[in-house]
Structure 1
Amino acid sequence: MKQQLKTIILVCLSLTFFGCESLPPSKKVGAQQKLPRQVINFNNNWQFYREDPSALTERTVEDVFLPHSVKIEPLLVNNQWQGKSVYIKEFPVEKAKNEKWFFHFEGVMQEAHVSINDSLVKTHKGGYLPFTVDVTPFLKNNAQNSIKVEVINLDDATIPPGKPLADLDFNLYGGIYRNVQLIKTNPVHISDPVHAKEVNGGGILVHFDSISAEKASGFVKVHVVNDAEAEKELRIRATLTSEEGEKMTFLTPQKKLVSGGDGHFTAEVSVENPELWSPSQPNLYELEIEVLEDEKVIDRQSITTGIRKIELTGNAFYLNGQELFINGTNRHQEYPYVGYAISNEANYRDAYKIKQAGFNFVRLSHYPHSTAFLKACDELGLLVMNAIPGWQFYEEGEFVENALQDIKDMARRDRNHPSVVFWENSLNESGMTEAFMLKANQVLKAELPYENTFSAGWIDHPAYELFIPARQHAQPPTYWNDYNKPNRPVLIAEYGDWEYYAQNAGFNQKAFGDLKEEERTSRQLRSAGEKRLLQQALNFQEATNSNLKGEQTIGMSNWLMFDYNRGYANDLEASGISDIFRIPKFSYYFYKSQKPPYQGNFSEPMVYIANYWQPGSTTDVTVYSNTEEVELYLNGNLIEKKKPVRTEFSDELWYPPFTFSIPEYVPGEIKSVGFIDGKEVASHVVRTPGEVSKMALSADISGKEIARETSDVVFIYAKLLDENGTLVHNATLPVTFKISSGENAELIGENPVKAEAGIATILLRTKELKAPVSIEATAPGISRSNINLQ
């Protein structure tokens, strides 16, 4: 019942987010009355073109919808398009008297010039944080209007991360790559927190400063702007609703706002027996804010938030009074082909996969990710380290000013998310000055002047509450385990890649000196084969085990969750525990096995055989499991039942892997069975694959169905199987995909595409899935396969 109520609340918030226009007339709230606030999806029906600075090519204008990337790139992005592009949209204006119109841009990479009816109204620098444009004075009422957005994604040393793309460890994909909303309000309205530019204010701010299982108390602060022609006497009604539907209402004192003025209204709030937020129980509250004038609601806005108590000591992190070790990963927001232009649902699916892998934490690398991703972390129960854009670059002047502005905008956008527990207001691996570090922390603490605001920096400096080095920044064999400074907790922000790649691992990431042998590195594509994928998993296991020896280590985040492209390299960075198509490698199952069973969501008992059991497979079989005992069978015959054996690579792990020795390779079936308290709780079967004889199509939903009213991107997988339905891991047949029926959908990617380790993947992009879409796939020598997406 609790989960059903959570779903209902989130659906209601989704409708608030996208505007009541999406509801049928009979369901509209106050259908005969003007709504106090309308938030309208403005993603569709744009015209787009790229400018050729040489003027040698004819301009091609395309009809596009957002989120949008300036260019569909190949899987390996070796020559990413950079330049100036233009988005134009015509829209009708029928504006009520004194009505305010705003356009809210969630993210434009990386410099935007916004014009209304040919008048420049806003220039914004920075690709990862939102901005809002008040277009009210520029509109022509009862007429067609136009909005034009010029987008520049050229190298610019003044805009963090600042480093030229050719030297950058990730890519800056241009375009209006996140959502755009048209927001209509009354003259008296709640401000946007970033647009308001109010220190420790603007928009809606909720903070609980006293939290226990019995009671939580704090305040709600709301910033209201009065653009009406007369003074207004106002008050705020704040309604907090739990997932069970319990409502609590709080009122602020009345306050007068002069015409053209603004002000903050603060209500003290308290919650008896609060439903606390945690990774195992991510309880959320809906907070509805209403601006009242003589009891009439003249603006209304809702957000979700959570109540949790976080504390940091010299060697531990506490959540709701309980010590919690942070076990996480890093994530880049890139998808293949479309770059950053992914949907809210795709962001949710990434968070879902991180949670599925057994993690309780994600570090945002190396920039603020979308609001949709943070909302997913709130809902699923993932702790987050937020981060400003930065990577191995620092320059005094405008760059520094923009970096400090990023801290302000990040804090103002994300302060109400219960998932965000650390603020990386540090330019990653960059030579920051002491003056900058001190100023960056002053800025953060001015925005969030609370005891539980924890800053994080990669440089060991007292300005930061949390020291977040990468493992490779220290020397083996102890790395950071011997670190010993009073009151300086350590979270290993990156590990598992560089220390197994180059013996000069550290900062000079373009000069790969003394490379490890090819089979030793953690950078292994899914097609690298069983031996190398086992080595990658062993690397992560060894590093995890080593990290757990540190007395002041409060947590760790591996490098990384998904493979990705880099500006400076001509190959995929393949140290992900899943590939760029989000398909798991063996390492994924190692991490999944480290989560205790029966402790909250996504914590079921599991066993996984990291072996293909085909000619050439090792007969030393590794099984990852979080159970107490595991049996291994070969063709129905018991090989052994055993408990895990701890070695120098597993003596600190929560759940060491199980290793079985089979006397000789015999084709057939190996089966593992896991036991807890003597009872069978999980099993996994691997069969020797035969020849490819058929294909099976699937869509990667991962906890979130394809969007019906808005655009979406989703992976379509074609698995090459033998006659028994076993995946043929060495199959590389080319697969051709096509949409056999349906509208408002397209396939993006190589087509035909060569299967990798038995799976061919293409990306489906939908505009609106209001009718079924059918996809057909063919490959030489086998029958065609179909999937219907309803």
Structure 2
Amino acid sequence: MPEQHPNGTDAETQVCVSTSFNTNLSNTPDNRYLMPVPSLLSSTMLRPSCGLLLIAALSQCTSSANSERNTQAPPAVTQFNQDWQFVRDVDTTVTASLFAKTGSTAQWAPVSLPHTPRIEPVVTEQQQWQGISFYRKFFRVPAAGPGSRVAIEFGAAMHTADVYLNGQNLQRHVGGYLPFTVDISRQAKYGEENVLLVRLNNQDSPVVPPGKPLKGLDFNFYGGLYRPARLILSDPLHIANAVQANRVAGGGLLLHYENVSPQSATLHLQTDLQNDAPQAQTALVRTVLLNEKGQEVARTTSEAASVAPGASSQIKQQLSIAQPQLWSPDQPYLYRAVVEVLRDGKVVDRQETTTGVRSIRFAAKTFTLNGQPLRLRGTNRHQEYPYLGYAISDNAQYRDAWKIKDAGFNFVRCSHYPPSEAFLQACDELGLLVMDSAPGWQFFGNAEFQKNSLQDIRDMVRRDRNHPSIVLWEAALNESDMAKPFMEAAHKAVHEELPFAEGVYSCGWLDYAYDVFIPARQHLKAPDYFNKYAKDKPLFLCEYGDWEYYAHNAGFNQTAFSGLKESERTSRQLRGQGERALTQQALNFQEAHNDNFRGPAVGDANWLMFDYKRGYAPDIESSGVSDIFRLPKFAYYFYQSQNGPVEGRNGFGKPMVYIANYWQPTSSKQVVVYSNCDEIELQLNGKPVARQRPDATKFADRLAHAPFTFTVPAFAPGTLKAVAYRNGKSAATAERRTPGAAHHLQLRYDRSGRDAGRQDVLFVYAEVVDVNGTVLPEATNSIRFALKGEGELIGDNPVRAEAGIATVLVKTGLEKGTLQLTATGDGLTDATLKIETK
């Protein structure tokens, strides 16, 4: 590999690749470490009219399916996810045979992106697969080249990618969580077939963050090209991609708001133009801001600017917004900024990004949003799915965000790495505040590792900087013994990339250098933890509710804990471990969350939202408020009760009530009910048990909405009903029926704000129910699934039900249509479900 500059480009040539128009992403992926790729220096320009012609040519020449194309121009963009081939566990040497359609001994399997190298079992005594794998794709580009720029964008690849085109090594990208782009303008054979080869290595590496070997890591880093890819044809004069440009506070679009109020706001927008043509180009930038109805709110056009050959130019603009709709968790209003680059009166590049008008401020003891104090009520999220690891659809990313919002949280920490852009876009749309996190956990490596980590921090900020949801940048290696110079450099990197006087906050788990201190609650001992933190610095508790109970250090509820077994007192409880275990987990979270209000913290984030798998243990880490299949536990509804009741625009935070009890002979007569209302009346078989106000205990005295605990004198089979009252009026109801004998199955799939789409990944749940449709919470029947239509069953089949529900993953096909899923079980009436993909 040739010598490289610190910014990742080779010593002779810095290559800049076009960004693309995409209505779903605020920035487009780009490359990080470049090997020499000579710039395309052609006088042939891609005009807007040519863009449409090129898309037509792409539809005939590429092997990507028509249904994936984005026909907006310019630039011409086609999804690049179909007709890939994959092989692993073969000779890792790159030879000519890997580029040949015939004659190779490798058994290539047809795959589509996103893709994972191996379907992993939910629970295994072996670690996830690690090794070297190959992806390749045969494709064509229009014969009209090489006048335009041609690039391939990868959303992410785990974690070291060597990319070849037609046998030539083009570049290496290091890092598994952020995007990169491969420019193929010079090497592509226009009008002929090309073969792209990606050699991927996800083996342990001490220089690639997170750096720690998988066998000692608290999460898994799955392999594969696990995020989407795109093929782009664009003009040599284009909006530079923020990551690929590798310029401090440069590249792409950079948005920032000042003087935000309900009366007005000022949007400062910087557009970074790159000219890779052999002569100077004169262009101007036109920006239009649209509201959610598509109506124009503001417009500005820059003066004409000349951009020298091989150079860049940053165009700064300012727009005034009268009476803006301010973005907040309850009202996540998004505008659209449309930025066009014009040369000789014609559009040669165009980008569109959603944007939210808001202001933030962290101070000691207070976080304010749009000038109003707001308590951050958060959780942590790992992005993995069972079986598929990281290779999930954008819809699946959205559903995860929807569940976090539905569970009552207004904040999510992206532990312990940057998430997909689709997840962040969902947070923008749904109203979730975000801590974006650099890859790292309990490992601090050598100089090369630190260099790569600092580059990760910069690339993370460059990719994600325009999301209104992001309020904190975790520019630290979680629970790692970082050197002070590294922390200083990481903090500085955030502020260099976002050089604004207000509204930019770095954070780290050590109380040094960073703007906001984010320790885990268990980093100090009971009973005070961080409640006596006295420094004049914002404090946010980024983890709580798991380790302090797992390690028997809760310090408060010792009387209740004294009779519990070790396995009973922990927050690590699988959904199938039963009512008592789920009640204990919810109580642990309640107690810890309540106690966090006693100190100066501006908010907290529990550990965690979803159960997940670890590199160092064969079992599932089960302290999630939902299980690994995204099925809620009791604690989910405790947190849901802490939200609202509010009139949120997305329907979250409405009056709710939930009975945390299965009401069967073994159930506790102490019935806990969660609600965000004032009073609850509990009824048994239509007769009142009691009507009560919320609990008044030291474990609930700081909560927005304490639980309601009822004592039922004696068990009687039938129906428990909770009626929630708000201001004296019935606002919500919930029921629990005593389950009878298993009778039949009923099927449903998890929508969570998104119906089934093409190439989607769906959780389908088969519930074991009695004749009345009540789920049997202790059923463990073996259930078999069968699928008809264009789709694929992923995972164990048959699979045993856990707490009465058996789960399978369904991967939908490329075309829209109907899938028919059937579930069968011995002694149970079958169930059939039709899924329409759109």
One fold, TM greater than 0.5?
Answer: yes
| CA distance, structure 2, for counterparts of residue 694 and residue 359 of structure 1 | 35
The alignment status of 1:663 with 2:713, answered yes or no, reads: yes
For residue 724 of structure 1, the aligned residue among 772, 790, 802 is 772
Instruction: Specify which of 193, 197, 205 is matched with residue 246 of structure 2.
Output: 197
Q: Does 2:379 match 1:329? A: yes
**Corresponding letter in the other structure for 1:265:** I
Classify 1:252/1:731 alpha carbon distance in 2 versus 1 (closer, same or farther; 3 Å).
same
- Retained in 1: the 8 A contact 2:156–2:225? yes
Query: What is the deviation of 1:478?
Result: 1.4
What is the match of residue 5 of structure 1? none
Q: Is the 8 A contact 2:212 2:441 kept in 1?
A: yes
Given that 1:17 and 1:39 are in contact with CA atoms closer than 8 Å, whether structure 2 keeps it comes out as: no
Aligned AA (1:46): W
1:753 aligns with 2:799: yes
Could you tell me which amino acid in structure 2 is paired with residue 203 of structure 1?
A: G
CA deviations on 1:66-94 (whole Å, 9 max, x unpaired) are 00001100001432111000000000121
Give the secondary-structure state (helix, strand or coil) at the position aligned to 2:602: strand
Q: Which moved more, 1:585-594 or 1:189-198?
A: 189-198
Report the 3-state secondary structure (helix = DSSP H, G, I; strand = E; otherwise coil) of the residue aligned with 2:522.
helix
Q: CA deviation at 1:17?
A: 8.8
Report what 1:779 is aligned to.
Answer: 825
Task: Check whether the contact 2:671–2:710 (CA below 8 A) recurs between aligned residues.
Answer: yes
Runs of 4+ in 1 over 3 A off after TM superposition: 10-25, 52-55, 503-506
Q: Which blocks of at least 5 consecutive residues in structure 1 are unaligned?
A: 1-9, 507-514
Q: Could you tell me how far 1:769 is from its partner in structure 2? A: 4.3
2:627 paired residue among 561, 572, 579: 579
Q: 2:331 aligns with which of 275, 278, 281?
A: 281
Deviations 1:680-716 (A, max 9, x none): 01000000001110111111111012223xx211101
Deviations 1:538-579 (A, max 9, x none): 0000000000111x2100000000000000012100000000
Alpha-carbon deviation of 1:261? 2.2
Identity of aligned residues (%): 49
Q: Is the CA contact (8 Å cut-off) linking 1:16 and 1:39 kept in structure 2? A: no
For residue 405 of structure 2, give the secondary structure of its aligned residue in structure 1: helix
2:721 maps to 1:675: no
Aligned residue for 2:13? Answer: none
- 3-state SS of paired residue (2:620): coil
What is the root-mean-square deviation of aligned Cα atoms in Å? 2.3
Q: Does 1:767 align with 2:821?
A: no
Q: Which of 613, 631, 636 in structure 2 is aligned with 1:565? A: 613
TM-fit CA distance, 1:503: 3.9
Q: What is the TM-score normalised by the length of structure 1?
A: 0.93
Secondary structure of the residue that 1:492 maps to in structure 2? coil
Tell me the TM-score normalized by structure 2: 0.88
1:497-516 equivalences in 2 (<5 Å): 497-503=546-552
Q: Tell me the equivalent position of 1:142.
A: 191
Q: Identify the residue that residue 130 of structure 1 maps to in structure 2.
A: 179
C-alpha contact (below 8 Å) 1:39/1:183 kept by paired residues: yes
Aligned equivalent of 1:553: 601
Q: Is the counterpart of residue 733 in structure 1 residue 771 in structure 2?
A: no
- 1:373 Cα deviation after fit: 0.2
Deviation at 1:16, TM superposition (A): 12
The corresponding residue for 1:220 is 269
Question: Retained in 2: the 8 A contact 1:697–1:717?
Answer: yes
Aligned to 1:363: 413
Conserved? CA contact 2:27–2:463, under 8 Å:
no
Q: Distance in 1 between matches of 2:822 and 2:784?
A: 8
Residue 511 of structure 2 is aligned to residue 460 of structure 1: yes
- Residue deviations 1:631-656 (CA, integer Å, cap 9, x gap): 00011110011111210100101100
Deviation per CA, 1:193-231: give whole Å up to 9, x if none: 101111101011111122111111131111111122332
Task: Answer yes or no: is 1:634 the counterpart of 2:684.
Answer: yes
AA aligned to 2:118 is K
Structure 1 Cα separation of the partners of residues 625 and 107 of structure 2: 40
* Whole-angstrom distance in 1 between the partners of 2:808 and 2:105: 30
Maintained 8 Å contact 2:28/2:463: no
Which residue is equivalent to 1:155? 204
Cα separation, 2, equivalents of 1:11 and 1:630: 48
Offset of residue 398 of structure 1: 0.5
Please give the per-residue CA displacement for 1:416-450, whole angstroms capped at 9, x wherever unaligned. Answer: 00000000001000000011100111111111112
Q: Which residue of 2 aligns with 1:45?
A: 83
Which AA in structure 2 matches 1:574? S
Pairwise CA distance, 1:260: 2.4
SS in 2 for 1:491: coil
Matched letter for residue 69 of structure 1: T
* Contact persistence 2:542–2:606 (CA under 8 A): yes
Q: Distance in 2 between matches of 1:375 and 1:15?
A: 8
Greater shift, 326-335 or 71-80, is seen at 71-80
Query: In the alignment, does 2:220 pair up with 1:182?
Result: no
Is the 2:26–2:467 Cα contact (8 Å) retained in structure 1? no
Q: Contact (CA 8 Å) 1:102, 1:183: kept in 2 or not?
A: yes
1:319 Cα offset (Å) = 0.2
Aligned-partner SS, 1:182: strand
- Number of aligned residues: 760
Structure 1 residue 183, shift from structure 2 partner = 1.3
Contact 1:51 1:59 in 2 (8 A): no
AA aligned opposite 1:405: Q
Counterparts of 2:672 and 2:553 in 1: how far apart (Å)?
A: 31
Secondary structure, aligned partner of 1:490: coil
Q: CA deviation at 1:13?
A: 4.8
Asked if the contact 1:51/1:86 (under 8 Å) is kept, the reply is no
Query: Could you say what secondary structure the match of 1:751 adopts?
Result: coil
CA 16–521 in structure 1, closer or farther in 2 if over 3 Å, else same: closer
- With 768-777 and 160-169 compared, the bigger mean Cα shift is at 768-777
- Asked if structure 2 preserves the Cα contact closer than 8 Å seen for 1:563 and 1:573, the reply is yes
Q: Give the CA deviation at 1:15.
A: 13
How many angstroms does 1:34 deviate by?
Answer: 9.9
Q: Indicate how the Cα distance of structure 1 residues 728 and 695 shifts in structure 2: closer, same or farther if over 3 A, else same.
A: same
Report the equivalent of 1:510. none
Q: Which moved more, 1:596-605 or 1:347-356?
A: 596-605
Aligned twin of 2:128: 80
Q: Deviations over 1:642-671 (max 9, x none)?
A: 111210100101100001111111111110
Q: Secondary structure at the match of 2:152?
A: strand
Matched residues in 1 for 2:26 and 2:547: separation? Answer: 44
1:218 and 1:624 mapped to 2: Cα distance?
A: 42
SS at match of 2:351: strand
Q: Residue 751 of structure 2 aligns with which residue?
A: 701
- State whether residues 761 and 812 of structure 2, in contact with CA within 8 Å, keep that contact through their aligned partners in structure 1: yes
- Write the deviation string for residues 82-118 of structure 1: whole angstroms up to 9, x where unpaired: 1000000000121434111111111101010111111
Amino acid aligned to 1:135:
I
Q: Which moved more, 1:44-53 or 1:712-721?
A: 44-53
Instruction: Identify the residue that residue 376 of structure 1 maps to in structure 2.
Output: 426
Aligned residue among 527, 544, 547 for 2:576: 527
Q: How does 1:301-450 map to 2 (within 5 A)?
A: 301-450=351-500
CA distance in 1, matches of 2:647, 2:509: 32
**1:11/1:774 CA distance change after superposition, 3 Å:** farther
Distance (Å, rounded) in 1 between the aligned partners of 2:191 and 2:336: 37
Q: Does 1:64 align with 2:111?
A: yes
Q: What residue identity is the alignment partner of 2:244?
A: H
Output one character per residue of 1:34-65: Cα deviation in whole Å (capped at 9) or x when no partner: 9320221101110000034699x974321000
What's the secondary structure of 1:385's corresponding residue? strand
Determine the structure 1 residue equivalent to 2:10. none
- Helix, strand or coil for the counterpart of 1:137? coil
Distance 2:73 2:726 in 1: 56
Out of 663, 669, 691, the position equivalent to 1:619 is 669
Change (3 A) 1:653 1:609: same
Q: Partner letter of residue 742 of structure 1?
A: G
Q: Distance in 2 between matches of 1:136 and 1:82?
A: 33
Task: Name the SS of the counterpart of 2:134 in structure 1.
Answer: strand
What is the CA distance between 1:11 and its match in structure 2?
A: 10
Q: Output one character per residue of 1:746-775: Cα deviation in whole Å (capped at 9) or x when no partner.
A: 001110000000000000012324111111
Counterpart selection for 1:493 from 526, 538, 542:
542
2:293 aligned with 1:244: yes
